[in-house]
Each structure stands twice: as structure tokens, then as C-alpha cells.
Amino acid sequence: MNRHELRERFAFNKGVAPRWMLALNIVMAFVYFIIIAFLFTPGNPVLFGLLIAGEVFHLWQSVGYAYTVWNMNHQRRFDPAFAQGVDVYITVCGEPVEIIEETARAALAMDYPAQNFSVYILNDGFVANKDNWQEVEDMAKRLGIGCITRRTPGGAKAGNINNAMRQTNNPFVVVFDADHVPKPVFLRKVMGYFTDPLMGFVQTPQFYNNQHESTVAQTAWDQQALFFGPIMRGKNRLDAAFMCGTNMAIRRAAIDQAGGMCETSIAEDFLTSLFIHEKGWKSHYVHEVLAEGLAPEDFLSYYKQQFRWTRGSLEVVLRHNPLFMKGMKFGQKMQYLLSSGYYLTGLVVLIDALLPIIFFFTGLTAIKTSTMWLAIVFLPYIALTLAMLQRSSNFTYTFHALSFSISSFYLQVHAFISALLGKKVSFAVTSKTAIQGNFLKFAIPHLAYIALAIGGMVFAYLREGFSAALAANASWAIVNIVTFLPFIAAAAPTNVMNSIRKKFHVKSHEQRECEEYMPASAMQNEGAN
Amino acid sequence: MHWFDHPHATDREFELHSPLKYALHKFFVAIVLLVFSVIAFGLFMNAYAGESIRLDEAQSLWQVSHSVNGMLGIISEDVHMPLYHLVLHTWVTFFGNSVMAARMLSFVFLIATFPFAYLLARTVMGRKWALATVGLLAISPFLSWYASETRMYTMLVFFSVANQYFFTRILKHQHHGWFGYAITTILGAFTHYFFFFNLATQVVFFLLNRDKFKKASFIKFVGVAVITAISLAPWVALFIHNGAAGNMRPGLSKPSPVDFFNAYSNFLFGYQSDILNTVILAAWPLVIAGAFLALRRRLKINSVVMYLLFAAFVPVILVFVLSYVITPFFLSRYLIASLIPLYILIVWLVSHQPKKTAYGALAAGVLLSSMFLYRQAVMTNNPAREDYKNVAIDIAKDASPRDVIVMTSPFTVFPFEYYYNGTTKIVTLPLWDRGNHGAIPAFSATELPKQVDQIKKDHDNIYLVMSYDQGYEDAIRQYFLTHYEQIQKRQYSPKLQMIEYKVNYDNPVSFTK
């Protein structure tokens, strides 16, 4: 891998948004909201109320983002000679043995003073009825590492870690998912932060090295890049960086004080972080890729992973609201609320997307104003917001990532209702290999939207002819449709998409990204080599 | 793909690597630009050859018909700078003062703009896409409209784009481009007052991006500003001495957001009917889809792209705000210098899309531009059209020496007279004695009946030609409607109509003459 490729690969954690841009964005967010809420004439009161509710949410998220990324270079005390004992856990639940072995070998190869660490495979294959649980034990024996195979199920991944913690005793634990291969310097770069006696845990990015394997994997990373780039770097200064399930080091005392890894939530890492922070522990985020893992390569795995994260985060809002937690600072409370509340975006997207459809069929609008007045306040605001997003993420955020985020509205609404009703959801391990199939059922709401929008446009045209209001609403519907398209394409059967690409000689998203990845000069060098 | 075929390889890298290929490439670029010029010329000849002279054009021709000193005196009382008229004065000396010959000068400036537009585009994109930008400019409805108007707008575009190009050279290379920048600054400043908004944008950009320039740049920019100010001083003194165009400012109302977006609609789609324009403006949310699609990995906004963003938007925003706060002077044609940076930005965004999408978007752009260009050229309700030609032809056919032609905006007498070859007397309302020097008298509602009585004396019919509403057109219309019998009414272009009134009953009314 050449230097340019390396730079591009890890560009996500080098973004900086100028303070003037952030401040201006906050001002514009308020100006936009005030104009929409107080200066424009309301239309239908229900639609206006829904619109304003959505705008309040946007305002909160927008200002919250600017507040988060205001300072992304928080420095902490670090002792390179730190050498206290570490238990390294590799959590396993039926993943292919070769993937686990690669991770285990990399873990063994980590560099640490006096090699004062032990590696354990936390094998949940038996309790999860996976066929390869014994192969995993054999592999561990072959490598000379510990293998803790649970015989009593419960608590999913959190239960697996808690079980291992009862059987090991080093003062620190490091957790890797089965597919997250640590670099030799992992412990050297992470453990030194525990020199601060209040440091509860240290998290590193969850980097996907298979991002070029499929559109879904690429997009999953593009979304992660925003989170592990500016957002986590920003949370750092507020002691609000939270655990993400893998590539993390935790002080045993902190986790013990929090009551162990939380086994009652499918977002165990997030909730446990909350409890650790509540007890007054600090956290740190090292924005350097120190382990590389696998992204979900297929739509089903992606969808399940997103649903799990959404459901778990929304549970935090509904059942463990950070605002009412004692022991946390205001900044921490806001950060937890921002992160978990983000998943309410789906409700707002749904409302915004339905407004043009409602207009098509009823003629009702949320506001009665010249569409150009709306344009003059909205366009500079959205332009600045996108510029801020790109500057803070070092231009790594993509249309596909945006598309998947917005198109996840149905998933998020579904998860919200499920969390509200307290429906039980089981923990599902993200598949490490691509699952082929037709996942269009997940895009039915989007396809229905397209059908409704087209039908609605015709209906509205027949009702009132070609008016400015129709043009404006049709344009909004088209914006939504354009945004949904990559999501629908990803859900479509792989063979259908391949035949479409073949027919029209279109390269897939990941092929293009791969080609654009290297400059011509690099390609030439590659060829020469 | 060889490295120098890479879309972002610089010309210098290219030149050093293969001089022969570089020379061939330059020849190829020149040929392509020539082809685009021929296309633009074809459009100029076909679309606008028969177009009636417009008020402003007639004014330009009238102004350059004087001696140089006389012309400078007149222009210093007007709202424009003198360079275009000096060039036009020389031009008509050689090529004659026909509408076509005079318009050709504007077309020449359009063609001269192409190489600079290419070079400016080349600072942010590869050769192929820079040429595509010029191709789109060649069929731009708005540019082609002003390339066929005897006014200074394509000259303004030429100096603005050249100036923007030299500014980007300074930005990129620090030591290069200063001479060209100074020359184009001075000449641009002498072309149109709105060139100063181009300079103001550069000042804003410089202040916000000081770290992108060498320290010595500040002194050099100040030097250029001082030289420009010294060059302008005599003209400014004359301008102030002659009343600072106190009576000549166009009567405009405060701009609204519609006007703001209309400027960009004009830049991209030219002059379209009100209905189509309304639909285009209402479709503004599509810009958001474009912005979303522009979210691509590594699509960084470097300093030159940032400057182009400034050049495309800051002048329009500045003029809009000042028009709102101080005095209204918001007209899209005055802001034409922002058009080329806007086109470059759009093509730059398109060029970063996947190949098929980018080519598809380019093809759609060519198709849309051609379609709007065609509509602009052929539709009678083009809001910028002023069909003095046909109104003059019709009145010459209909009116007799016993009738009188009344122009409700006194200065519209110039384009009308350009085509009118009849024998009917022509007067203006308010009454204006063109033999006397001095400003056009102001309209007075109390004087109106007296002036109309004076005009109708000894005449059977009045051919009232109404255009260029100066704020009193409705008062005149109402007066005639309530006092005289309307015989016929014809609309020639959106703001130009002719209404015939019977004002004297000594002779019977005749509908056929």
C-alpha cells in the first residue's frame, strides 16, 4: 500500500471545520428556524405543527453537531511506559475459524512492555448452537491461547464478556470482535492513557478493510467514517466518547462499578459506557486505525446491524434518558442524547417526505409563503451544513452514505415503535460473508413512495394544472426519490443489479471507488510493479 | 491511462513531459475553441439577425454618433463607463453603424472570452471538461442574447473572466499573472461600474484567505488598486461634475428573492416566458439533489474552486443586499460576470460524477441549453424583447400625416426612429424638445391634460406607443381610456404595446387606411 493510498484510506480522521463555519452554521440554523416558525404564514395547522416539530429536531441535531466538532483535538496525559496487565478478549459466535485465527494471531503479535497480556477467545458458539464451536477450541489450543466456551447462555455478547471477566483477573481488558484484526502497536498506543487513574475506557475506530468489496460495505464505512472521524473526536473533549463493542480497552474497576457489561440491551456497549460515565469515569478516543475489521457486505446484514444499533440507542432515550442521570456533566448528557436521539431522524424524514405527497392529493401545505422566500433561507443553510459536514469529515462523506442514512427512515420508525412497545429483540451477529438474495422487501416503503409520488403528481396536475406549487412539491418529491435510489439499488437482487450494470456498461459503486482510490500515477506504478 | 492524460495533470507537467504532444494538444484545443466560435456565430446569425434594435442599443448607437468629446460628455451623464463606447465609436467608423455591424462587436468579445473561459476552467478541471464548459457557454442563452446586443455586457464578461483567470494564477502561483491582472482590472473598471463587484469579491476572498497568498501580495494588490484609482480619477471627476447620473438611473423597485433567483435562472436558461420562468424557479429544490450528488469522496473544494464559488455568488449577493438597503440597481445583465464561474462550477461538479452520469448530465445540459436558446430566440413573449421594428413598420403602414405618434417614454424615440420611415409626426409624453440640451422633463399628472391637448391639436388619431414604464404609464393609459375612443391595440413584445385613439372627430373614423 503506497503512501497516497494510506493517506486516502485514513483521511476520515483528519477533518477540521473552521470555527467561523461552525458558528455561522449555528446562527443560520437559528435564523432558518425562526423564519420558518414565526415569519412564514402557517398553512394547515397539523402539517405546520409536524413541520415545526421536525425543524426543532433538525435544529437540535445541527447545533449539536457543530457543538460536537467545535474542538476535535483534545489531548490527554499518556504514559508510553504503562505496562499493567491486560486480558485480550476476542468475542466469537460462529464466525469462520480462519477469520478468528487471523485476529488471534494478530492479537498475539501485539507489542506491549514485558508482553504483559493474555489472549482469550470468548467462544459463544456452543450456546448459540454454531457448528464450529469445537473447531474454535481446537484452533485456540493450537495457538496456545485461552478459550472460554460458555455453557450457559444469556446476555449475548455482553454475557460472554461478563463470563470471561469472572474467569480472568488482569486489571484491564481489551475487546476485539472476531473479525477485527489488531495492529502490533494497538496496546502501545492505547494503554498509556490509563495512566490517568480515572480513565475508564479507551476506544479506537472500527475500520472496515473490506469496504471495496460491495456497495453496502463501502456505504457502511462511509457512514462510519463520519462517526469515527469528527463525531467521536469531538465527543472526546467532553468525556463522552463511548464504547463501540470492539477495538476498545476497559479498566476492570470501571466496568465492575457499572455492574458489568449491560446484558439487558442489544446496544450493550453504548449503555455500559453510559453507566461507566455516570460513575464518574473518563473515556478517551484514539483517532488512529489500530485494528481493521469487516463491514457487512450484504444488504440483509447491514439492515440487521442498523436495526440493532437503532433499537438499542432508542432504548437509551426511552428507558435510560441521560438527561436524568446523576453523575454526568451537561456536555456528556447532551452527547448521549444527541447520539441516541439521532435515530429519531427517521420520523422527521418520514414527515418531510410525506408533505409533498399530502399536497398532491389534498392541496394542503404546511406553510403558505412564496417558495422563493423559502429558497433564500434554506439554500444557504443547507449549503453551509453540507460544507461543514465535508470539512469536518475531510471530504469523506458520500452521497451513498447520505442516501442510506435518509432511506433508513422506515427501519428507524420500525425500531422506534418496537422500542416504545418494549418488544423483545435478539442480538444477531453481523455476518462476515456476503449473503446473496433479494432484499427488496426492505425497500417496499421507498418503492411505494415513488409510486405515490408519481400518482400524486398526475393527480395534482389534473386538479390544478401546472402551477408553481406543483413544481415545487414535485421537485421535493424528486429530491426524496433521488436520495432513495442507491438504497433501493442495494436492496435489489444482486443478479438483477449486475445484469442492469452489464447491459448499460455501468460500473458498480465499489468498482468506481476502487478506481478513484488510486491516482493515475499510482495506477501506473502498480502496473510497473 | 498515461499519467499526463489524467484529467488533473497540469499543462506544465504535460509540456515538460512531451513538448510535441503538448503542441498538438494546444492546436487541438484551438481548433475546438474555433469550432465553438463557429457554432456561436451560427446562432448569432440565425437566432438574432432579424431581432429588432432595443432601446439601450439605440442609445449606444446614438451616443457613438457624436464626436469623441461629445460622446464622452453624454456618457459621463449616464450610468455607464466609457470604454465600450470608445471601442464602439472606432468600430462603427470601420464597419458602419448598422445594427448588425454594431452587434458584431459584442459577438467578437464573446469569442474573445472563450480562451479565457477555457483557461479559467482549466485551473480546476481537465482539458476535456474545460472544453465542455466552453461548449456550453457557446450555446448559453443568456450569453448569446448579449452577444447580439449593442451594449457592453460581453465586454464586461471578457474583462471579468480574464481578470478572474489572472487572479486565480496569482492564487495558484503567487508570482505569475500580476501584469495581466493589473491590465484587466483597469480595463474592466472602465467597462462597467459593476466590474467593481468583481473586485469587491476578490477583496472579500483575499481577506478571508490571507494564508493562501504570499505576504507581498497585499502590497501588490494595493498597488493595482492605486493605479486603477489614478486611471479612473479624471473620469470620476467628469462624472461627478456632470451630476453623477442623477437623472439617468434606471427606475427599479427593491429586489425580491424572486429577482435574486431569477438572475441565476437567466444565467442558465436565458430569458423565458413568465410561466416557464415561474416553473423553473419553483423547481429550486432540485438544487438540493444536485448538492447531495456532489457529496463524493475526495471532492475537495480547493482555494481556486472556493474563489469560483465566491465569483459566482458574492457579487449577486452584494448587489442584492445593497439594492435592498441603499438603492435598487439589481439587474441580472449587470451581474453577467458571475455567469462563467457558475458554469465552471456546475461542469466541475458534473465532471466528478461517475463517467456515465457525468456524460449523461453533460448531454442533458447541452439539450436543455439548446432548447431554452431556441425558445428564447423564437418566442414573442420573451421578456427582454423590444420589438420596435414591427411597431414602426405597422405605424408607417397605418398612420397618415394627420395623425401623431406619441412615445410614452421619451427616450424610446431612438429605437423607434431607427426603423420608422413614415411621415407622421413623432412626439413624446412628457413633451421633450430634443433640440435643447438638458435632462428629459419629468412627468406631471397635472400637466398631462394640457400636454395631450397640445399634441392632439390638428391631428385625427394618436398612436400611443407604450414601453419602458417609468412609473407613469398607467396614468397616461387611464387618461386616454377615459377621454378618447380606442380604435386598435396591439402587443408587440411583453412591455411594448401600441394603442390607437381617435382624438379628433372633424374627420370620420376609418378602420382601413
ipTM of the complex: 0.85
Which residues in chain B touch residue A376, judged by CB atoms under 8 angstroms apart? Answer: 257, 260-261
Of all residues in chain B, the one with the smallest CA distance to A510 is B354
**A475/B257 Cβ within 8 A:** no
Q: Which residues of A17-31 are buried (b: 16+ CB within 10 A; e: fewer)?
A: beeebbebbbebbee
Region A287-304: mean pLDDT is 89
Q: Shortest CB distance from A402 goes to which of B260, B279, B295?
A: B295
Which percentage of chain A shows pLDDT scores above 70? Answer: 89
**Residues 6 or more apart in contact with residue A60 via CB below 8 angstroms:** A338, A341
Q: Shortest CB distance from B6 goes to which of A474, A506, A520?
A: A520
**Measured distance CA(B473)–CA(A141) in Å, rounded:** 98
Say yes or no to pLDDT of A158 above 50.
yes
For B462, phi then psi, to 5°, come to -110, 125
C-alpha distance from residue B27 to each of B15, B22, B31, B39, B392 (Å): 13, 9, 6, 18, 48
Classify residue A129 by its DSSP letter.
Answer: T
B281 to chain A, minimum CA–CA distance in Å? 8
Helix (H, G, I), strand (E, B) or coil at B497: strand
**Measured distance CA(B415)–CA(B492) in Å, rounded:** 14
**Measured distance CA(B358)–CA(A316) in Å, rounded:** 44
**A479/B288 Cβ within 8 A:** yes
pLDDT tens digits for range A209-245? 888 878 888 898 888 888 999 999 999 999 999 999 9
The answer, for A503 touching chain B at a CB cutoff of 8 Å, is: no
pLDDT band at A409 (very low <50, low <70, confident <90, very high): very high
A368 to chain B, minimum CA–CA distance in Å? 14
Of all residues in chain A, the one with the smallest CA distance to B354 is A512
Sheet holding A207-208: strands in order across? A181-182, A291-293, A207-208
Region A298-325: mean pLDDT is 87
Of all residues in chain B, the one with the smallest CA distance to A511 is B354
Region A114-133: mean pLDDT is 93
Per-window interface: A 449-488 vs B, CB < 8 A: 466, 468-469, 471-472, 474-476, 478-479, 482-483
Which residues in chain A touch residue B9, judged by CB atoms under 8 angstroms apart? Answer: 520
Q: Best interface-test mutation with B: which of A28, A370, A372 has the largest number of B CBs within 10 A?
A: A372
Residues belonging to chain B with any Cβ–Cβ distance to chain A shorter than 8 Å: 1-3, 5-6, 9, 256-258, 260-261, 278-279, 281-289, 291-301, 354-356
Q: Which residue has the higher pLDDT, A369 or A135?
A: A135
Of all residues in chain A, the one with the smallest CA distance to B291 is A383
Say yes or no to pLDDT of A434 above 90.
no
pLDDT at B46: 82
pLDDT at A3: 67
**A397/B279 Cβ within 8 A:** no
pLDDT at B467: 87
pLDDT at B362: 96
**B296/A524 Cβ within 8 A:** no
Which residues in chain B touch residue A375, judged by CB atoms under 8 angstroms apart? Answer: 257, 261, 284
Which residues in chain B touch residue A387, judged by CB atoms under 8 angstroms apart? Answer: 301
Say yes or no to pLDDT of A514 above 50.
no
Which residues in chain B touch residue A482, judged by CB atoms under 8 angstroms apart? Answer: 289, 292-293
C-alpha distance from residue A144 to each of A92, A313, B142 (Å): 17, 38, 76
Q: Shortest CB distance from B291 goes to which of A8, A382, A471?
A: A382
Say how many CB pairs under 8 Å bridge A and B: 111
**A466/B279 Cβ within 8 A:** yes
The count of residues in chain A is 529
**Measured distance CA(A516)–CA(A514) in Å, rounded:** 6
The answer, for A513 touching chain B at a CB cutoff of 8 Å, is: yes
Q: Best interface-test mutation with B: which of A14, A395, A405 has the largest number of B CBs within 10 A?
A: A395
**B291/A383 Cβ within 8 A:** yes
The answer, for A447 touching chain B at a CB cutoff of 8 Å, is: no
Helix (H, G, I), strand (E, B) or coil at B110: helix
The answer, for A373 touching chain B at a CB cutoff of 8 Å, is: yes
**A523/B1 Cβ within 8 A:** yes
Which percentage of chain A shows pLDDT scores above 90? Answer: 65
Which residues in chain A touch residue B298, judged by CB atoms under 8 angstroms apart? Answer: 8, 11, 395, 516
B292 to chain A, minimum CA–CA distance in Å? 6
C-alpha distance from residue A492 to each of A222, A298, A341, B402 (Å): 20, 11, 30, 80
pLDDT at A266: 82
pLDDT at B443: 87
**Measured distance CA(A100)–CA(A138) in Å, rounded:** 12
Average pLDDT over chain A, rounded to whole? 88
**A468/B278 Cβ within 8 A:** yes
pTM for this prediction:
0.84
Which residues in chain A touch residue B299, judged by CB atoms under 8 angstroms apart? Answer: 395
**Residues 6 or more apart in contact with residue B275 via CB below 8 angstroms:** none
**B258/A372 Cβ within 8 A:** yes
**A520/B3 Cβ within 8 A:** yes
pLDDT at A520: 37
pLDDT at B22: 80
**Measured distance CA(A111)–CA(A121) in Å, rounded:** 19
C-alpha distance from residue A387 to each of A21, A355, A379, B25, B388 (Å): 9, 26, 12, 36, 49
Which residues in chain B touch residue A40, judged by CB atoms under 8 angstroms apart? Answer: none
pLDDT in 10s for each residue of chain B, 513 residues: 443 445 455 566 666 667 788 888 889 999 999 999 999 999 888 878 788 999 889 989 989 999 999 999 888 887 789 999 999 999 999 999 899 999 999 999 999 999 999 999 999 999 999 999 999 999 999 999 999 999 999 999 999 999 999 999 999 887 788 999 999 999 999 999 999 999 999 999 999 999 999 888 999 999 999 999 999 999 999 888 877 665 555 667 889 999 999 999 999 999 999 889 999 999 999 999 999 998 988 788 889 999 999 999 999 999 999 998 988 889 999 999 999 999 999 999 999 988 898 999 999 999 999 999 999 988 888 888 899 999 999 999 999 999 999 999 888 888 999 899 899 999 998 888 877 666 678 888 999 999 999 998 888 999 999 988 878 889 999 999 999 999 999 999 988 999 999 988 765 555 544
Residue A335 cell numbers, joined: 452527547
Residue B21 cell numbers, joined: 504532444
**A402/B292 Cβ within 8 A:** yes
A37 to chain B, minimum CA–CA distance in Å? 19
Q: Do residues A484 and A446 make contact, with C-beta atoms less than 8 angstroms apart?
A: yes
Classify residue B212 by its DSSP letter.
Answer: G
